[in-house]
Amino acid sequence: TRYFVDHRKVRVVGGQGGGGGHSFHSEPRKIFGGPDGGNGGDGGHVILKADRQTKSLFSILPFYQGFHGERGGSKNCYGANGAYLYVKVPVGTLVKEDGQVVADLTQHGEEYVAAYGGAGGKGNRFFLSNENRAPTLFTPGEPGQERVLHLELKTTAHAGLVGFPNAGKSSLLRAISRAKPAVAAYPFTTLNPHVGIVHYQDYEQVAVADIPGLIKGAHQNRGLGMAFLRHIERCGFFLYVVDLSVPQPWTQLQDLKYELEQYKKGLSERPCVVIGNKIDLAESRINLPLLKEQIDDRVIALSALTGHNLEELFFHLRELYDTYVKTEESRGQSPVKW
């Protein structure tokens, strides 16, 4: 079973540099040929590379060692450099060292050198000079850089589904995409983030993330607290999913925005739309006009179970996505593409 893992502690060590060569040229009828020990090769780096095909930190090992450089040879032959060791991580991986962020890999193919390889040693040929015509000095290769890094995955999606447990987020994601999150009649059915892709006729793709359900006090790490909020942070806009069948559904929206704001200031002010789910129930049809009176945000009433009014959601989702793309381009940043 492959589990979803969103944080890892990993020790990385660069490759050892190869030692310098120590030899003197030997050839018939050529006395005092001089030193010809070549330099050693540099050790290989350990490089983290963002890859969109990797979806979890599950495959990340606790230790990585770079390849060593080769020793310098005779006849002025230099040792080969150690090959680079590439470690694939998901797009959206945050790299921390001693609590400080040192890299944020948000684009496919982006690289970060986690540990530099050591420099190769010098052969005795390097120390040849007019004052010393037969040097015997040579140096060993330097050890590679050693670091302990903390990798933290924050799901990179355009839209985030925000709602309380059993509000219907997973059912809605199943209805609008090919993602297959678990659906059941008990709280916290979704324990890991799921990303579904909504396809449009012009080949644009909008990524929608289904995050584990939120409860009161999530910013204090209650329930699945930080496991939810860490992944919602990167989303460009939110889809608040409200269960219309419960009494006073507008209080759910107030509690959701409060938890987001307590976790990170300004998070609740991002573009959003309120989705009133379960409109197929009689209680929901009574609560819908009351909800629209209490809030200023746009409300889309639908049923993830029957598929009622999903067209309006598709249309408005594309509007939010186009606005997000224009905003990112106006800032000089490249929007996330799937």
Backbone angles phi, psi at 253, to 5 degrees: -65, -40
Rounded CA separation 137/41 (Å): 17
Per the CB < 8 A criterion, the answer to whether 38 and 125 are in contact is yes
Tens digits of pLDDT across the chain (338 residues): 345 677 889 999 999 999 999 888 887 877 777 899 999 999 999 999 999 888 778 889 999 999 999 999 888 889 999 999 999 998 888 899 998 999 989 888 899 999 999 999 999 898 888 888 888 889 999 999 999 999 988 777 788 888 888 778 888 888 888 766 555 444 444 456 777 888 888 888 888 888 766 666 544 545 454 556 777 777 888 889 888 888 888 888 888 888 888 888 888 888 889 998 888 888 888 888 888 888 888 888 988 888 888 899 899 999 999 998 898 888 887 777 76
Q: Strand, coil or helix: what is 198? A: strand
Per the CB < 8 A criterion, the answer to whether 89 and 154 are in contact is no
For residue 299, give every residue at least 6 positions away whose Cβ sits within 8 Å of its Cβ, in sequence order, or none.
273, 274, 275, 276, 288, 291, 292
Domains 1-154 and 159-331 share a fold: no
- Tell me the domain boundaries of the chain: 1-154, 159-331
Backbone angles phi, psi at 281, to 5 degrees: -90, 150
Backbone angles phi, psi at 125, to 5 degrees: -65, -35
Half-sphere exposure of 227 (CA within 13 A, CB side): 18
Architecture of domain 159-331: 3-Layer(aba) Sandwich (3.40)
Q: Which CATH class is domain 1-154?
A: mainly beta
| pTM score | 0.70
The residue length of the chain stands at 338
Per the CB < 8 A criterion, the answer to whether 279 and 244 are in contact is yes
Relative to beta strand 146-153, strand 93-97 is: antiparallel
Q: The tokens of 271 are what?
A: 């573009």
